Amino acid sequence: MAAKDAQPSYEAARDELAEIVESLEDGSATLEESLKLWERGEELAKICQQWLDGAKKKLDAAKSSAKSEDQ
């Protein structure tokens, strides 16, 4: 990420989250590292959900617009 405040793309957040899950599952991280990974994973999960929610709103709006044009 270029800027600390910049939100990653859905794909970047999803890929980083997958890496975190893999790291947590292999069990090689210390407790402190695991907690940091977990916290980052929570942040990334929220980012992914925001992207998905936004996409759903756009799809719903497009469907609604298409229905009103058909009538």
User: What residue segments make up the domains of the chain, in order of their start?
Assistant: 14-70
pTM: predicted TM-score of the whole model, two decimal places: 0.79
Average pLDDT over the chain reads 91
Give the model's confidence band at 2: pLDDT under 50 very low, under 70 low, under 90 confident, else very high: very low
Quote the CA–CA distance of 25 and 20 in Å, as a whole number. Answer: 8
Closest CA to 29 of 19, 15, 43, 44: 19
The count of other CB atoms within 10 Å of the CB of residue 20 is 21
Instruction: Work out the average pLDDT over 48-55.
Output: 97
